Structure 1
Amino acid sequence: MDWKETYQTWLNYSKLDKSLKKDLEKHKEDESRLEDAFYTSLEFGTAGMRGIIGAGTNRMNIYTVRQATEGLALFIEEQGEKMKERGVAIAYDSRHMSKEFAVESALTLAAHGIKAYVFEELRPTPELSFAVRHLKAAAGIMITASHNPPEYNGYKVYGEDGGQLPPKEADDLTTYVRSVTDILSIDALDREKAEKEGLLTFVGNDIDRKYLEALRTVTIDQDLIDRQGRSLKIVFTPLHGTGQMLGEKALKQIGFKNVSFVDKQSEPDPDFSTVKSPNPEDPAAFKLAIDKGKEIDADVLIATDPDADRLGLAVRTAKGHYEVLSGNQIAALMVEYIFKAHSLKESLPKNSVMLKSIVSSNLPSVIGDKYGVETIDVLTGFKFIAEKIKEFETDHSKIFMYGFEESYGYLIQPFVRDKDAIQALVMVAEMTAYFKEQGYSLFDAIHELYHEHGHYEEKTISVKMDGMEGTEKINEIMSSLRSQTPEKFGDIQVIMVEDFKTQTRQKGSSEEGIELPPANVLKYTLADSSWIAVRPSGTEPKIKFYISACDDSGVAVKEKIEAFEADIRSRIDF
């Protein structure tokens, strides 16, 4: 069927959800909107799915959620009765329709005789990962669109280890999801019947307690916290999302007593009414936190995104202003503190390893080298970090000490297998206390690292390209770059090209393989050790250009970033 026929099928469906029926009737004269809603199915990929809430096959609604869950149920059934008996843990964030989508997922599973453990109230993504492991569930579902605008929601699937599914399993699940074509007639058990038969169970406080207990293992130097915990001034905001309850309890239980909150952002709000974007990467999201910080002369401002898997910081400068750090800067500070603290306590294992994505800064790796910690690069997506942790636990070859992505995602202890902003919150408070006791602010500390290791700066250019034309344009850009390899960026020569799709590394006339799963990413290493990478987003209609520059001075680095960006924009029409 073409999109018009699909639209008519939905419009004529007598049992169509009333709110979706109303949505269709409201926009019946807007053909371009209807075409976008029905021309394709909402893509279910390796990271699940994410889209605008509303009626249509290309939208987030109870029917597309049932379709995804029906695929998951078939995927679990294929693995046998024992996996079905283990059930699925389900959590959700503060967005519109999140709880409804969580319950619909549970009732779809129940129709297959698969038990669901649904959190009674909103909870962060990392606690969902923890719950999968704690409950020994077969899988997990997180209803969230992370830091996307209010009109979005999403659906992420987790495997039995608490990590997002690795490529093979994700491909198998995607095949099952796509095999479900009649999405309007998917069975979902009646809620009352599901609860009565024990197929729908609500959970919460017990898992909170276990997770908070595990969080105690994140702390390295409790004596330091005992000395500084009452005087260190922290401002924390969950940006209207899920981080408030657990974040507040986590800081309090280890001894940070002087914590102030941004009252207008502490309560969940699906419209994120005080920010343009609920994204801790965006300096504008810190406006109210900065106001609060100035009021109390805070040492550090901390923000988590709506599902509390990402964390951002604003730090006080010598002039009393607050500057928002990049994800790479935060990671560098964490790495310096974690490895130094363990070294001082003689608790840093000889076979320690740090994991990071291929588009993250090299500065943490340089710092890791100083402490004898190996760095292993993985593809973008925290599931690849989780996959490596699982591998190390199996062969005992290395001990995981830290993992991060430049997009503000960090993990310190592997009782969670995804980005964990609550863990990061605890660690940031501890490392701020450490540097303060040494007479440094975090702003001073990052510049000390530059003085020691050289200046590193990164920039990500994210270009949104919606609809069919956008997808075609992204594909054209990647094809063009592959057919015409740039010889230089700015005035600096390209000395190595890595194509992670073909799994090849070209350096001069020599070529070798890349021992990573295939991914649609190109990375160019330059003669001065700077690099540029390009990849389409796995969760949004975007193409991303990553720039990383290094030099002896901050001025020189900024000039390189500007030159590289100008070069990219001259090559790519956007």
Structure 2
Amino acid sequence: MLGLRGRMEAGWSRMNDLIIIQASQGLCAYVLQAVPNAAERGVVVGHDHRHNSERWAGLTAAAFIAHDVKVYLHRGLVHTPLVPFSVKKLNAACGIMITGKFHGLNGSLNLSYSNIQQATILSMIMATNPPLQVYWENAVQIIEPHDKGISNSIKANLEPKVWDHSGVQSSALCIDVTNEMVEAYFESVSALTSHRTVNPQTPLKFVNTSMHGVSHPFMVRAFDAFGFPAFIPVLEQQEPDPEFTTVKFPNPEEKGALDLAINTANQHQANYVLAQDPDSDRFSAAERSPDGMWTMFTGDQLGILFGSLMLDRYKLSGKPLNELAMVASTVSSKMIEAMAHAEGFRFAECLTGFKFIGNTALRLEEEGFEVPFGYEEALGFMFGSEIRDKDGVAASVMFVEMVTSLHAQGKTASSHLQELYTRYGYFQTSNSYFICNDPLTIDKIFAKIRNYDGTATSVRPNYPRTIAGLNVTSVCDLTVGYDSANPPTYKPAMPLSSGHMIQFRAQSPNGESKITLTVRTSGTEPKIKYYLEGSGKNAIEVGVLLPRVVQELGDEWMEAIRNQLGRP
């Protein structure tokens, strides 16, 4: 199995030169076939600091140059958002970012040896966090039909044709526009600020960690673009380090990942900690209270704060609220949905992943909506129309400007979040997973959920009707294509999921407490994940309700003991 750090190893289930070449030349063949004038428009290639990322970016570029395709190869380390930004600016045919975000093939996939090579290559471009991240000509990550088209093209082009990439940068087809794209990127970041003249006066102190990744120089430029005083860096994590020596897992969501940043903040009496993941497309934050305790914001809490910020900005523009839209993944908080119902703007949900969020935003734009914000609970946030993908740098400075403005009003991010709960209802999440290494057991569990009392038919599944004393009010099964809230066809509005994925909504008999529960399989790990959110007027009642739902989910729906499911 390939480790997180992306070392090159031989073998079909490893990341290595052969796998990169096969994926790149299959992608090249498909792009030439599917995109008009692809060779002249060119492709964008970038890489971060992971082991062998620069080499693999060169091999990727070589595969395209060998077919007379122009390549805009970014020189040096770049953050992921620069690639889709460049695709849009240059009107390129596609973009490829080499990030090393690959956890290998999971043992639970139960693949035969003959299928491992093929599955490894396809996982590189179709996983949730692929090491070879592909953006289409619309500057958004690929979805159907292009993911399947690329998949078939890779399978048809497995014979490696190009190995030497030493002369790539000297090729007339290899063009360096890195500096121009970086400058253009920060012009677009600067356009996001609304308080540039007052930002320099903020008394707040910010500590920033780059998590051993590439974000530090980009964050320095972004702070300058917004006019903020310099942040305090976490020196031990400031420089790119593919070994990630100070963290067990370089993910801002992981417990302990921000310990060094918080220690640094305590030393400097800083008010907030900011964090980007290693390729700088995700963002996290923490707030120090007056008693010195720290609040770690969840992705949903940050999404709610950002959604409110963008709503307030839109209102100041004087534009009609019915022309505003925001997007979130279906497993993210429903609070922005509640906000939309209360305020009169459009809310759209989509499948998990920014390939769906970005494409949903583009579709809404085509329908005449302005879409200034989208997010997913896994710390991904999208601002403005220049990048339809998550951007940790933009999210960081937007957060800083938001809390700076709140501070001028005598508020904090935490206190403002409580105000929003009072206004739109209290929302609390409880997300986790069950561990199961047997695909057949997973299928059996979901089969039971779809035929809970044994009366399902080929036309109509039969799902649980209650959970923890709540009545199930709707079920949307994106695996079999059933949505109880959409009669008479009962077809879901969202596309189907490649794995098991069912979402339940339920409420108490008096309607005061509600939950949304999504249960789905992981595409990369032996897990059945659940995303649970409770809402209501009373925070205590919601807090009591959620553990009861989790207990019934595990004990009765999943039969965790009988099916030998593990828990974190």
Question: TM range, normalised to the smaller chain?
Answer: 0.7 to 0.9
Residue in structure 1 matched with residue 231 of structure 2 by the alignment: 259
Letter in 2 for 1:408: L
1:101 aligns with 2:101: no
SS of 1:513's equivalent in the other structure is: coil
Mark the CA change 1:133 to 1:300 in structure 2 (over 3 Å): closer, same or farther: same
Q: How many angstroms does 1:317 deviate by?
A: 2.5
| Maintained 8 Å contact 1:66/1:104 | yes
CA distance in 2, matches of 1:558, 1:260: 36
Mark the CA change 1:202 to 1:475 in structure 2 (over 3 Å): closer, same or farther: farther
CA distance in 1, matches of 2:220, 2:78: 13
| Maintained 8 Å contact 1:161/1:417 | no
Which residue of 452, 468, 487 corresponds with 2:465?
487
The Cα offsets for residues 20-71 of structure 1, whole Å up to 9 and x where unpaired, read as xxxxxxxxxxxxxxxx79xxxx9xxxxxx99885221122111111111111
| Maintained 8 Å contact 1:232/1:258 | no
- 1:96-495 mapped onto 2 (5 Å cutoff): 96-146=51-101, 154-182=131-159, 186-188=160-162, 190-228=164-202, 231-346=203-318, 350-395=322-367, 397-463=368-434, 469-484=437-452, 485-495=463-473
1:531 aligns with 2:516: yes
| Maintained 8 Å contact 1:243/1:307 | yes
Q: How many angstroms does 1:277 deviate by?
A: 1.4
Residue in structure 2 matched with residue 546 of structure 1 by the alignment: 531
Residue in structure 1 matched with residue 15 of structure 2 by the alignment: 60
Residue in structure 1 matched with residue 481 of structure 2 by the alignment: 503
Mark the CA change 1:457 to 1:53 in structure 2 (over 3 Å): closer, same or farther: farther
CA distance in 2, matches of 1:461, 1:379: 18
Where do 5+ consecutive residues of structure 2 fail to align? 107-128, 453-462, 508-512
Q: How many angstroms does 1:347 deviate by?
A: 5.4
SS of 2:11's equivalent in the other structure is: coil
CA distance in 1, matches of 2:132, 2:486: 43
CA distance in 1, matches of 2:486, 2:346: 27
CA distance in 1, matches of 2:408, 2:192: 20
Q: What is the TM-score normalised by the length of structure 2? A: 0.85
Letter in 2 for 1:513: K
Mark the CA change 1:464 to 1:122 in structure 2 (over 3 Å): closer, same or farther: farther
| Maintained 8 Å contact 1:70/1:109 | yes
Letter in 1 for 2:552: D
| Maintained 8 Å contact 2:102/2:131 | no
Letter in 2 for 1:117: Y
Which residue of 491, 494, 514 corresponds with 1:516?
494
| Maintained 8 Å contact 1:131/1:207 | yes
| Maintained 8 Å contact 2:32/2:38 | yes
Letter in 2 for 1:98: S
CA distance in 2, matches of 1:286, 1:457: 22
Aligned residues: percent identity? 28
Where do 5+ consecutive residues of structure 1 fail to align? 1-35, 43-48
CA distance in 2, matches of 1:508, 1:101: 46
SS of 2:249's equivalent in the other structure is: coil
Larger helix fraction of residues: 1
The Cα offsets for residues 91-132 of structure 1, whole Å up to 9 and x where unpaired, read as 112211211111111112222222222221111111111011
Mark the CA change 1:223 to 1:80 in structure 2 (over 3 Å): closer, same or farther: closer
CA distance in 1, matches of 2:389, 2:525: 19
- 1:65-80 mapped onto 2 (5 Å cutoff): 65-79=20-34
When structure 1 is superposed on structure 2, of 538-547 and 117-126 the one drifting more is 538-547
The Cα offsets for residues 393-425 of structure 1, whole Å up to 9 and x where unpaired, read as 434x21112111111111111211211111111
CA distance in 1, matches of 2:486, 2:382: 37
| Maintained 8 Å contact 1:302/1:313 | yes
CA distance in 2, matches of 1:553, 1:125: 41
Q: How many angstroms does 1:246 deviate by?
A: 0.8
SS of 1:167's equivalent in the other structure is: coil
Q: How many angstroms does 1:140 deviate by?
A: 0.8
Q: How many angstroms does 1:177 deviate by?
A: 1.5
CA distance in 1, matches of 2:326, 2:25: 37
